[in-house]
């Protein structure tokens, strides 16, 4: 009987119950419940303890319970010969679209300025901005970025997108390559970052690149904290070069209580909730992929180690 | 030559220039520029000085440069025999949709809770809410409310609407009448008020009705301040019966600096900017209506004094 071991922290039993519900023919176990290590065919996990993987010698594939796989890939105990499969959407993209749209509306309707005025009990109107004049740029145009870019474009905003490899999306001005990134940044009123975390994207949004954004621009980061130089962001906010930022991810999470980001008036903080892994669609996706793998069919979402996503 | 007198405060010259641009055959003048009072056929105005109207004895119709006409109608100098024509949309509805959607996203993505946590540097996640489980109710289903209700429904939220007179809108559960309002409130996670300001709607959202909202509900008011009992709102926020409010309109505007609303952590304040009158579409609409009136054709938006909208 094909056996799946689930490691999902406190939520493990909930995940296992969903496997049992929709795939009673699979043997599913929530760690640390008893299981013969030799029998584990598949592992579904997010952040298991150190040296977790070495205990299961016959595992055929490992499923990441999230879209970002950088933390798992960089673990020394991750078995090099085993495929890592990430969730390719599982309801996350639509959540990320909502989050990004909230940031776009915050910029368009000048909510950071009105929030600052509210602190001073100041009643002052600023000129309206139409959707068509708000230029939104999405960095990363995969399963998540594509949904964000097209969802925002469908509402009438002027949307561009950047990706490492060329992409084409209806209604979105897509560019790729390092040089086009600079040009795109210069034309971005709202920058939405959903790039995967790799060696290439680390600190991609540094002071030099963030400075290319036009005066008054707004930054939404809902991918990984290490891609954004938070100190550069603060500097540009303090100089009023940027008008605000909506941040969901940070170098260290939980964000330490003494981080100055918490108290910056131009920064709105959420605790890594832009896209939450939803149990039902995620388990459905993993079960379908296990069935394909058992039948020798290739599946989507297998991480390519050289690209790291 | 048909003559239009424009009174739009500091923006008067901009409005007049737009009339001159798109309708050079009309004689348009921005108050207080010289004009023979007897020659004024139409007035386009928002908030002219006291006793303004008495000076123009031959005026055929007065155009309000906004959607709400309560202030103009209640003026003692408003000529009883002259039609008051309001703007029926002129770009305002789409702006109001953006504003309401920002409120809906704030509720759905628990932004008031995360903002409160940010003040305490507290990293704590709350369970996600899907769009389909967020029940949004729009009060007022005219040219503005209809666009809001259908726009939000199109994104996947569960939208209901209430109006004095029965309406029907695709994708929106429409109800009318006093009794159905109470039932609707009991099923509203987000309440969006865009009712016109009339004797019937004054303090419609009082303590009793706001209490009917389910625990944790969120209120968006972007119509008129007098429809909402702000003290009742504050009480219900303080009791954590409501989770937040987004307010654009107030009993007194500008909102006085000593109003406790400015400093309430559950209230987000904007200075009556949810729907701004846009010069281009507004002038186009007024010109079209002047041409119809000059040809003896009835126009939309004529205020019925007994309904006051």
* Tokens, residue A228: 């954004």
Cα separation, B115 vs B122, whole angstroms: 10
Cα separation, B7 vs B32, whole angstroms: 8
Cα separation, A157 vs B180, whole angstroms: 37
A194 pLDDT above the threshold of 90: yes
Q: How large a percentage of chain B has pLDDT more than 90?
A: 80
Kindly state the DSSP code that residue B261 receives in the 8-state scheme: G
Task: Judge: B101–A101 Cβ closer than 8 Å, yes or no.
Answer: yes
Task: Judge: B269–A118 Cβ closer than 8 Å, yes or no.
Answer: yes
A68-106 per-position pLDDT tens digit: 788 888 888 999 889 999 988 778 999 999 999 999 999
Task: Name the band, by pLDDT with cuts 50, 70 and 90, for residue A308.
Answer: low
pLDDT of residue A156: 96
* Tokens, residue B23: 């309708």
Task: Name the band, by pLDDT with cuts 50, 70 and 90, for residue A149.
Answer: very high
Cα separation, A138 vs A161, whole angstroms: 5
Phi first, then psi, for residue B149 (nearest 5°) are -60, -45
Task: Judge: B102–A106 Cβ closer than 8 Å, yes or no.
Answer: yes
pLDDT of residue A309: 67
B84-120 per-position pLDDT tens digit: 999 887 789 999 999 999 999 999 999 999 999 999 9
Phi first, then psi, for residue A47 (nearest 5°) are -140, 70
Cα separation, B299 vs B309, whole angstroms: 14
pLDDT of residue B304: 83
CB B93 within 8 A of CB B275: yes
B231 pLDDT above the threshold of 90: yes
B125-162 per-position pLDDT tens digit: 999 999 999 999 999 999 899 999 999 999 999 999 99
Tell me which residue has tokens 């906010």.
A237
With a CB cutoff of 8 Å and minimum separation 6, the contacts of A304 are none
Which residues of A sit within 8 Å Cβ distance of B?
A: 94-95, 98-99, 101-102, 105-106, 108-111, 114-115, 117-118, 121-126, 128, 130-131, 253-255, 257-259, 262-263, 268-273, 276, 278
Q: Where are the beta strands (DSSP E) in B104-164?
A: 135-139, 158-163
Which of B9, B114, B116, B118 should one mutate to test binding to chain A, selecting the residue with the greatest count of A CBs within 10 A?
A: B118
Task: Name the band, by pLDDT with cuts 50, 70 and 90, for residue B199.
Answer: confident
Task: Name the band, by pLDDT with cuts 50, 70 and 90, for residue A297.
Answer: very high
Which residues of chain B make contact with A102, given a CB cutoff of 8 A?
A: 102, 105-106, 109, 111
Catalytic site positions of A: 224, 272
A295 pLDDT above the threshold of 70: yes
Which residues of chain A make contact with B102, given a CB cutoff of 8 A?
A: 102, 105-106, 109, 111
CB B60 within 8 A of CB B42: yes
Task: Judge: B271–A124 Cβ closer than 8 Å, yes or no.
Answer: yes
Which of B91, B124, B254 minimises the CB distance to A123? Answer: B254
pLDDT of residue B308: 66
pLDDT of residue B45: 94
A281 burial type by CB count under 10 A (0-12 exposed, 13-18 middle, 19+ buried): middle
Residue of B nearest to A276 (CA): B128
pLDDT of residue B171: 95
B305 pLDDT above the threshold of 90: no
Q: Check B173, B209, B272, B291 and give the catalytic one.
A: B272
pLDDT of residue B309: 67
CB A205 within 8 A of CB A223: no
Which residues of chain B make contact with A101, given a CB cutoff of 8 A?
A: 101, 105
Q: How many residues does chain B have?
A: 309
Closest CA to B158 of B179, B129, B131, B125: B131
pLDDT of residue B198: 87
Distances (CA, A) of A151 to A155, A170, A246, B105: 7, 11, 19, 15
CB A91 within 8 A of CB A283: no
Closest CA to B250 of B276, B269, B278: B269
Distances (CA, A) of A292 to A67, A286, B145, B281: 20, 10, 49, 56
A105/chain B closest Cα distance in angstroms? 6
Task: Judge: B98–A109 Cβ closer than 8 Å, yes or no.
Answer: yes
Within 13 Å and on the Cβ side, how many CA atoms surround A49?
3
Q: Is residue B241 annotated as part of the catalytic site, yes or no?
A: no
**ipTM higher than the 0.90 cut:** no
Task: Judge: B263–A101 Cβ closer than 8 Å, yes or no.
Answer: no
Task: Judge: A271–B125 Cβ closer than 8 Å, yes or no.
Answer: yes
Name the 3-class secondary structure at B144. helix
Phi-psi region of B254 (alpha: psi -120 to 50; beta: other; left: phi over 0): beta
Task: Name the band, by pLDDT with cuts 50, 70 and 90, for residue B66.
Answer: confident
B168 burial type by CB count under 10 A (0-12 exposed, 13-18 middle, 19+ buried): exposed
What strand order describes the sheet that includes B267-269? B173-176, B158-163, B135-139, B190-193, B217-221, B242-247, B267-269
* Tokens, residue A75: 């673990």
Cα separation, A184 vs A139, whole angstroms: 10
Q: Check B120, B224, B263, B291 and give the catalytic one.
A: B224
- A44-48 long-range Cβ contacts below 8 angstroms, 24+ apart: A44/A4, A44/A5, A44/A6, A44/A7, A44/A8, A44/A15, A44/A286, A45/A5, A45/A6, A45/A7, A45/A8, A45/A72, A46/A7, A46/A8, A46/A9, A46/A277, A47/A9, A47/A71, A47/A72, A48/A7
Cα separation, A34 vs A26, whole angstroms: 16
B67 pLDDT above the threshold of 80: no
A246-258: average pLDDT: 97
A11-67 per-position pLDDT tens digit: 899 999 999 999 999 999 999 998 999 999 999 998 899 889 999 999 999 999 877
Which residues of chain A make contact with B131, given a CB cutoff of 8 A?
A: 94, 98
Task: Judge: B101–A98 Cβ closer than 8 Å, yes or no.
Answer: no
With a CB cutoff of 8 Å and minimum separation 6, the contacts of B12 are B6, B30, B31
pLDDT of residue A66: 79
């Amino acid at each position: 009987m094909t056996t799946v071991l689930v490691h999902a922290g406190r939520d493990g039993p909930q995940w296992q119950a969903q496997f049992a519900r929709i795939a009673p023919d699979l043997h599913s176990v929530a760690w640390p419940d008893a299981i013969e290590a030799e029998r584990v065919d598949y592992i579904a996990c997010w952040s298991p303890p150190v040296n977790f993987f070495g205990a299961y010698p016959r595992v055929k594939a490992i499923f990441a319970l999230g879209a970002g796989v950088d933390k798992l890939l960089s673990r020394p105990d991750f078995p090099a010969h085993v495929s890592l499969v990430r969730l390719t959407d599982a309801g996350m993209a639509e959540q990320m679209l909502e989050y990004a749209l909230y940031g776009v509306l915050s910029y368009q309707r000048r909510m950071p300025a009105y929030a600052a005025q509210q602190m001073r009990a100041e009643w002052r109107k600023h000129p309206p901005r139409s959707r068509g004049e708000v230029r939104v740029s999405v960095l990363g145009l995969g399963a998540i970025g594509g949904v964000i870019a097209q969802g925002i474009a469908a509402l009438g905003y002027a949307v561009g997108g950047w990706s490492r490899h060329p992409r084409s999306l209806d209604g979105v001005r897509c560019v790729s390559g390092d040089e086009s990134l600079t040009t795109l940044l210069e034309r971005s009123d709202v920058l939405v970052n959903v790039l995967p975390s790799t060696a290439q994207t680390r600190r991609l949004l540094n002071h030099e690149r963030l400075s290319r954004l036009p005066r008054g621009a707004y930054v939404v980061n809902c991918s990984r904290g290490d891609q954004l130089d938070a100190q550069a962001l603060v500097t540009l906010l303090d100089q009023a070069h940027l008008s605000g930022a909506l941040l969901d991810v940070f170098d260290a999470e939980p964000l330490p209580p003494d981080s100055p980001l918490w108290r910056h008036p131009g920064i709105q903080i959420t605790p890594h909730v832009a896209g939450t892994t939803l149990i039902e669609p995620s388990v459905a996706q993993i079960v379908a992929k296990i069935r394909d793998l058992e039948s020798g069919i290739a599946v989507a979402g297998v991480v390519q180690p050289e690209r790291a996503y």
